[in-house]
Chains A and B, each alone.
Chain A
């Protein structure tokens, strides 16, 4: 790299969206493309910064910068290792697409300045979580993420949204408080806050305080990762506009919870201590239940976005499961799934959003023959669904393959049985949507506006009735098709991703 200190790029990746958000706030509140343009540019610039970091780190650079000393122990420190960069790259890339999609979804709706401002601010928080170099930094940005996404969740400003927002805040802040307790425990045992390869606490023995710390971290980050007893904020938060749901579910919020768990497992406890304390076995049981129960719950949902939400809970379990298997294959599978799930789930949500705006339908039972109206959208949906079930050549297959291998490696046939059952459930709740949309006659339902809110419905009404297809505007359709293609390309040619993950796993 030509730049003397790549650490500055890390700071830029975190700081650029703040500038963007400030810029949006400074814009006059009027209808126009201003907030959208600034938000897109900020997201694109952040993504560029992250990719240059990826390039620098691949070239052997060490990115580590202390931005601000708050006090002893408490420093804002940013490092860019491969784990953080994986998350940062996924998030920032998808952010650009989500911003573009939001423009199509919200159209000329109200409060666009607030929406795009907080959307951009949330990117800062996510980048901060990804590039945090110590527990303090991670904690600060983890809290900021809750606060920055809250206005997005309640964007519709309905009583339902307000209720969901309250639940979201209560759960998230409670989780963050637990994380804070965990940090205190980590300092008490290890005397430091910095992430270290092989673990900050690697020298410790499995004493009660270590178990307590682990419980705090897992429960605290588990709230955002929606591990099963702590999940109920997530389906409620579905009242948010669909692009926000996609971000919440596919990228920023839930993945930051998962990422927190990964960080603490690998860089605070370390694989050795984690294994010695037999925490891996405990967590595999917990997550196994979470995966199966969430899948069964998903089966029972008729509202499309809610079904996707429960699917998220289940699929996040795959990522955590892979990570806590602590075998190279398992970790590779988990991290591959972090990438694959992000791509597939955001595709599914974007499709759900298109269905809502173009036809006004929110329930799966209303989707008969919808593919005749939205052929491209539903094809993308079908591709992502296949990936979710783990069918080659969509990217979900590769992650599932490694998860199965990793499970067999240390834990026998149990994880295989778990993934088998879960795969069957995935098929049972994803395939009906696809088959219904493609192979049932189109039903021209009279749709009462449910609740009387939500985005403007573009596709129905007098003008839409006679036309054969009613595809979404390009700002929505292009991100969807691009993402579905990436799912396929990554499935067919997983080499670059696997090579990156191999390096990552070797350095853990």
Chain B
């Protein structure tokens, strides 16, 4: 019998358990095909044709495999593929696509395909293309894996994989600037990964499972403090990737230095993986199960939603203000990614804040997640095409490019209309839903959230201003002398942008269809009120108040643009201490200096102790011979050498005597 409760050894290796929903091999193929493509692309360094074919086939194959997955999800609600367990983690890997996951996966694969096609031309003169395409595809596999993760530990594995493999894309140019930006990306990613790991381990420990939708009963049993800690850890991990203020520092560094198609994916897709994770965490871990009713059950989600709304507002406002101050077009787009992530976080927050009625917030967030992926990727591809053809990325040094690159100009215009929320383009639909959500939250939440609503409108105005600026400076006006030459826009460039433009227009012109067919089915896994979801399916988008809202935002944008250009406000630079990065670096350098001081003090102290010990040992060593072996010559020894005996012999006698005394004293005779 083992002491201390060892008899009950917990199951160290999970058996995996039967997956619920349908099973389909396409679940596995959606990840395996891009991974295989990556292998072929990486090994075909000497054969550009095979490499390019593998790159396209990998992305297209991934998208193709997702079609049957989506169909199965429509039929059964979820579709899984059982992997042998335990694979990679002691809890195994569980692949299961549900409504949200399959939509996200399709989005990932579609945008990836566009960027891959575009890369064929864009990267054709770069070094290390095999490495680029290999890592591009392995990142795709990881990102689809994130979408299809059935447990948080699976999500963690794929998330870390995506962080690390995309690092290679960020530093592709191997310039010092890229290397520096890559470092920030890598180490913040590592921090996020560890944060996720801690949260996931805690889930495993407290719930006994890391299932993405744990049973409500198990969750009810958790102490609120534990639940908060877990959610905070997970949200920190995902929030870093999502670029939530103040964890956004890496984003404006890393996104501009990557090759433009990779920037498109980083900004369009990979930061969404963070938002996707937050969406999952808040809705799955804080919301009560479908059976629970009443507001008390939603209180945790309610408070978390409130926090998340303000994180979202801070993120969208910071992002847009900093974006307005940029000259580098790619960096400006990166700051807008932060800002747009703020919209998504705001949507997630309102969804949780409104509790069972929060379907509209969820819908806004997930539709905006899709929309932002489409228009931001398209914007990066358009700006990238200009960069490729002119070698210039500073907006103020460009102009009149519509004459030379008409297709790119058109794509950029469509995407800019999308991000600015102009009716008929996709951003309008999601911003409308998000606006509905924040208005509804403000109704129940009082003055604080009413302010949030005002800030929402302000941010939309800033966004419009920013894209009036981008399009105006780059494509309109007079072209500078050195850029006035005919430019050939290659088919892959056009095709990449065209795929995204079609998506933008489709959602923009038919928003209610998108909501009914894409968003409503993906509420399946969540515990929203039935009527709220029903209401969602019948939202009218082109109503007067909403159109007026859009017009207000655009008018505000035009005003900000005029003011900014006239007054030189766009060239303002904040003091250095205001940047999070500066504060963190200052703190780190202070800690480093402190540590060096401490170590120096420790080393000094230790040296003193050690030399003292060494001195006393050598003194003892000098003394000992003085006591010994030379009774005739040593004063000290002569005193001891009674009866003229050798000192050794005397010592031996003494030891024997002491031993005898000890033996007799302890043997109780």
Contacts of A272 in B (CB 8 A): 3-4
**A413 CB to nearest chain B CB (Å):** 8
Whether B187 is near chain A, meaning CB under 8 Å from some CB there, is: yes
- Dominant SS among interface residues on chain B: helix
Complexed CA–CA distance, A294 and B10 (Å): 33
Residue ID in chain A nearest B92 by CB atoms: A495
Contact B12 A328 (CB under 8 A): yes
Min CB distance B6 to A, Å, is: 7
A194 at the interface (CB under 8 A from B): no
What string of 1s and 0s marks CB contacts (under 8 Å) between A371-407 and chain B? 0000000000000001001111100011011101100
Measured between C-beta atoms, what is the minimum distance from A149 to chain B in Å? 24
Residue of B12, B160, B183 ringed by the most chain A CB atoms within 10 A: B12
In the bound assembly, the distance between CA atoms of A404 and B205 in angstroms comes to: 9
Which of these, A271, A397, A424, contacts B89 with CB under 8 Å? A397
Range of interface residues on B (Cβ < 8 Å): 35 or more
Task: State the majority secondary structure of interface residues on A.
Answer: helix
- Whether A440 touches B3, Cβ cut-off 8 Å, given contacts A296-B595, A427-B190, is no
- The answer on a CB contact under 8 Å between A270 and B89 is no
Instruction: Flag if B179 contacts A439 (CB, 8 Å).
Output: yes
Which chain A positions have C-beta within 8 A of B164? 386, 391
Q: Contact at A392–B174, with CB atoms within 8 Å? A: no
Nearest chain A CB to B442's CB is how many angstroms away?
37
Known: A391-B164, A431-B190. Is A401-B89 also a contact (CB below 8 A)?
yes
CA distance A494 to B595 in the complex (A): 39
Which residues in chain B, 87-102, are within 8 Å of chain A measured between CB atoms?
Answer: 87-90
| Complex-state Cα separation, A390 to B12, whole angstroms | 19
A492 contact set on B, CB distance < 8 A = 87-88
Q: In this assembly, does A56 line the interface, its C-beta being within 8 Å of a C-beta of chain B?
A: no
Q: Which of A2-10, A215-223, A447-455, A497-505 contacts B (4 or more CB under 8 A)?
A: A497-505
List A323-377 residues whose CB lies under 8 Å from chain B: 326, 328-329, 332
Let me know if B6 and A499 touch, CB within 8 A.
no
Instruction: Identify the interface centre among A390, A392, A495, A506: most chain B CB within 10 Å of its CB.
Output: A392
25 pairs of residues in contact across A and B, judged by CB atoms under 8 Å:
A271-B3, A271-B6, A328-B9, A386-B164, A391-B193, A392-B160, A397-B89, A398-B89, A401-B89, A401-B197, A404-B198, A413-B229, A416-B198, A420-B194, A420-B198, A423-B190, A427-B190, A435-B182, A439-B182, A492-B87, A498-B13, A498-B90, A499-B13, A501-B12, A505-B12
- Inter-subunit contact B157/A198 (CB<8 Å): no
A444 in the interface, Cβ–Cβ < 8 Å? no
The minimal Cβ–Cβ distance linking B157 to chain A, given in whole angstroms, is: 4
Counting residue pairs across A and B whose Cβ atoms lie within 8 Å, the total is 113
In this assembly, does B2 line the interface, its C-beta being within 8 Å of a C-beta of chain A? yes
Given contacts A408-B201, A427-B187, contact A494 B157 (CB under 8 A): no
Return B594 CB to nearest CB of chain A, in Å. 12
Q: In whole angstroms, how far apart are the Cα atoms of A96 and B204 in the complex? A: 39
Task: Report A-chain residues with C-beta under 8 Å of the C-beta of B193.
Answer: 391
Bound-state Cα–Cα, A398 to B87, Å = 10
B171 at the interface (CB under 8 A from A): yes
Find out whether the CB atom of A401 lies under 8 angstroms from the CB atom of B90: yes
* Proximity bits, A431-449, B CB within 8 Å = 1, else 0: 1100100011100000000
Please encode chain A, from 201 to 242, with 1 for each CB lying within 8 Å of some chain B CB and 0 for all others. 010000000000000000000000000000000000000000
- Residues of B within 8 Å of A389, CB to CB, are 190
Other A-B pairs beyond A328-B10, A435-B171, A435-B183, 9, CB < 8 Å? A386-B164, A397-B88, A401-B89, A423-B190, A424-B191, A439-B182, A440-B179, A501-B12, A508-B2
For the complex formed, measure the closest distance between the CB of A395 and the CB atoms of chain B, giving whole angstroms.
Answer: 10
Measured CA separation A206–B657 after assembly (Å):
33
Q: Is A493 an interface residue (CB 8 A)?
A: yes
Task: Determine whether the beta carbon of B86 is less than 8 Å from that of A498.
Answer: yes
Q: B6 to chain A: which residues have CB within 8 Å?
A: 271, 328, 508
Among A397, A440, A501, chain B packs the most CB atoms within 10 A around the CB of A397
Interface size range of chain A in the complex: 35 or more
Instruction: Please provide the chain A residues from 410 to 425 with a CB less than 8 Å away from any CB of chain B in the complex.
Output: 413, 416, 420, 423-424
Q: Is B106 an interface residue (CB 8 A)?
A: no
**Interface pair B12/A393, CB less than 8 Å apart:** no
Please tell me if the beta carbons of B90 and A402 are within 8 angstroms of each other in the complex. yes
Residue of B nearest to A409 (CB): B205
What 8 pairs across the A-B complex have the smallest Cβ distances? A272-B3, A427-B190, A404-B201, A408-B205, A392-B157, A393-B88, A439-B171, A423-B194
Q: A398-B90, A416-B201, A435-B179 are in contact. Are A441 and B9 (CB under 8 A)?
A: no
Chain A interface residues (CB < 8 Å from chain B): 198, 202, 270-272, 275, 296, 326, 328-329, 332, 386, 389-393, 397-398, 400-402, 404-405, 408-409, 413, 416, 420, 423-424, 427-428, 431-432, 435, 439-441, 491-495, 498-499, 501-502, 505-506, 508
Write out the residue numbers on chain A whose beta carbons fall within 8 Å of the beta carbon of B194: 420, 423-424
Residue in A271, A409, A428, A498 whose beta carbon sits within 8 Å of that of B187 in the complex:
A428
Check if A505 sits within 8 Å of B2, measured CB to CB. Answer: no
Closest B residue by C-beta to A386: B164
* Chain B residues, Cβ within 8 Å of A296: 595
Residues in B whose Cβ lies below 8 Å from that of A397: 88-89, 157
Do A494 and B179 contact each other (CB < 8 Å), given the known contacts A198-B3, A435-B171?
no
In the assembly, what is the distance between CA of A202 and CA of B6, in Å?
15
Chain B 184-205: CB-based contact to A (< 8 A → 1; otherwise 0): 0011001101110110011011
Instruction: Quote the shortest CB–CB distance from A370 to chain B (angstroms).
Output: 14
Residues of A within 8 A of B202 (CB): 408, 416
Q: How far is the CA of A508 from the CA of B1 in the complex (A)?
A: 11
Beta-carbon nearest neighbor of A426 in chain B: B190
Q: Which residues of A contact B161 (CB under 8 A)?
A: 392
Contacting pair B89 A502 (CB below 8 A): no
* Residues of chain A with a CB closer than 8 A to B10's CB: 328-329
Closest to A273 in B: B3
> Is A275 a contact of B171 with CB atoms below 8 Å?
no
Q: In B1-28, which residues have CB < 8 Å from any A CB? A: 2-4, 6, 9-10, 12-13
Cα A463 to Cα B183 in complex, Å, equals: 35
Closest-CB distance, B185 to chain A (whole angstroms):
11
Taking a contact as CB atoms under 8 Å apart, the answer to whether B186 and A431 are in contact is: yes
Assembled-state Cα–Cα distance A328/B87 (Å) = 20
Chain B residues lying within 8 Å of A392, measured Cβ to Cβ, are 88-89, 156-157, 160-161
B174 touches A440 (CB 8 A): yes
Most chain A CB atoms below 10 A, which of B186, B190, B195: B190
Q: How far is the CA of A434 from the CA of B89 in the complex (A)?
A: 25
With A435-B183, A439-B179 known as contacts, the answer to whether A405 contacts B201 (CB < 8 A) is yes
Q: 1/0 contact trace for B154-185 toward A, CB 8 Å?
A: 00110011001000000100100011001100
Bound complex: CA A150 to CA B156 (Å): 45
Set of chain B residues within 8 Å of A508, measured between Cβ atoms: 2, 6
By a CB distance below 8 angstroms, the chain B residues around A402 are 90
A495 and B86 in contact (CB under 8 A), knowing A328-B12, A390-B197, A424-B194?
yes
Return chain A residues, CB-CB under 8 Å to B2: 198, 271, 508
Tell me the nearest residue of chain A to B8, going by C-beta: A328
Q: How far is the CB of B593 from chain A (nearest CB, A)?
A: 13
User: In the bound complex, what is the Cα–Cα distance between A431 and B167 (angstroms)?
Assistant: 12
Complex Cα gap A404–B233 (Å): 14
Cα distance, A480 to B419, chains bound together (Å):
51
Q: Are A404 and B197 in contact (CB under 8 A)?
A: yes
B191 to chain A, nearest CB (A): 6
A405 B205 Cβ-Cβ under 8 A: yes
User: Which of chain B's residues has its CB closest to A428's CB?
Assistant: B187
A153 to chain B, nearest CB (A): 21
Nearest-Cβ distance from residue B35 to partner chain A, whole angstroms:
12
Given contacts A328-B9, A332-B12, A498-B13, contact A393 B157 (CB under 8 A): yes
Contact A493 B87 (CB under 8 A): yes
Which chain B residues in 614-628 approach chain A with CB under 8 Å?
Answer: none
> Which residues of B have CB within 8 Å of A505?
9, 12
Contact B12 A502 (CB under 8 A): yes
Give Cα A416 to B196, complex, Å: 12
Residues of B within 8 A of A441 (CB): 174
A167 to chain B, nearest CB (A): 12
